Structure 1
Amino acid sequence: RAVTRRHGSADETIHEHVSVGALNIDVSTRRVLLDKVEIDLTAKEFDLLVYLASRPGIVHRRNDIMETVWDTNWYGPTKTLDAHVAAVRKKLGDQRWIEAVRGVGFRFEEPV
């Protein structure tokens, strides 16, 4: 059973356990397992992964990601987001987990 907690607006629900295919995230212990192997992420990488994986298949706008994960109104370049996405992709071992949607942002999906 998924336990939820609220962050900010009423429509923004984060599950305590997020599973997408072979990827399992335990939000309360901040642990990520891929094929039962623990993945070591920085705090921001973890927050980014939880945000994207909690809503698989949805295209997330860059500014929405910055505002939610970095907790700031972000106006300007999003190179820090690109760097964090690249790091998470590398640690997951497959670029296809996080797809860039040109001119918009990113979508999280299990590679097929």
Structure 2
Amino acid sequence: MTGLVLVVEDETAIAELIALYLRRDGFGVHTESDGDAALAAVRRLRPVAVVLDIGLSGKDGVEVCRTMRAGGDWTPVLFVTARDDEVDRLLGLELGADDYVTKPFSPRELALRVRTVLRRGAGGPAEVLTAGQVRLDIGQRRAWAGDREVALTSTEFDLLAQLLRQPGRVFERGQLLSAVWGYAASAGTRTVDVHIAQLRAKLGEMSPIRTVRGVGYAADGA
């Protein structure tokens, strides 16, 4: 077993399909159908990841994620949405989601994305990356901007690490999407832009990330 995934979806057939594929992939699964029950389950069960539908009745998925993050809970969240134009909001600065899929989606792809998010969040070797006043401890998965520790999602952390490992190199958006998210550039390079904006907001004036117009992004060296 590779851990328990909380699936929050109010359409029973969709919830059962997601659960089926996650279980096939070796995960334990617990399902809830509303936001308040989801938050209670997060506190009670400590899942390794949350698959969270946006269109819940009552407290919607956005509010569930916002409540988790405000309480210091950075469990990986993968949003499920029926609207592609919601992506910027879902991955936006105040929420800190790790990934998303839009309906209709492939349940096999969703299970793969959950595994990819968890692989990114796993501890790594003892390694420290620096750029100016920004420092990443790879083994402990912790980040600092100057003396201030910065809370990053697993996706944000690995995106920044990818840039810092090769300072000065310009990465195209598709290259970053493939290296960090683990799927093809056709999945949508806007995801990269939103996460870069999120990183810059969290790191503030100490951010080493530079936009190379028409190409992609690079990190200034140490």
- Name the structure 1 match of 2:134: 23
Match of 1:69 among 165, 180, 191: 180
Structure 2 residue 123 is matched with structure 1 residue 33: no
How far did residue 51 of structure 1 move? 0.5
Equivalenced residue count is 98
CA distance in 2, matches of 1:101, 1:77: 19
The answer to whether 1:101 aligns with 2:212 is: yes
Rounded to whole Å, the distance in 2 between the matches of 1:76 and 1:103 is: 19
Q: SS state of the match for residue 66, structure 1?
A: helix
Give the residue type in structure 1 aligned to 2:202.
K
CA distance in 1, matches of 2:186, 2:133: 35
Q: Given the two structures, how large is their TM-score scaled by the length of structure 2?
A: 0.41
Output the TM-score relative to the length of structure 1: 0.78
Gaps of 5+ in 1: 1-13
> How far, CA to CA, are the matches of 1:95 and 1:83 in structure 2?
18
Structure-2 separation of matches of 1:69 and 1:60: 12
Structure with the largest fraction of helix: 2
Q: Work out which structure has the larger RCO, using CA pairs closer than 8 Å and 6 or more positions apart in sequence.
A: 1
Higher strand proportion, which one?
1
Distance 1:89 1:65 in 2: 16
Q: Aligned residues: percent identity?
A: 36
Q: In the TM superposition, what is the alpha-carbon distance from 1:96 to its structure 2 partner?
A: 5.6
Q: Counterpart in 1 of 2:163?
A: 52
Which consecutive residues of structure 2, in runs of 5 or more, have no partner in the other structure? 1-124
* Structure label with greater radius of gyration: 2
Paired with 1:15 and 1:64, the residues of 2 have a C-alpha distance of: 25
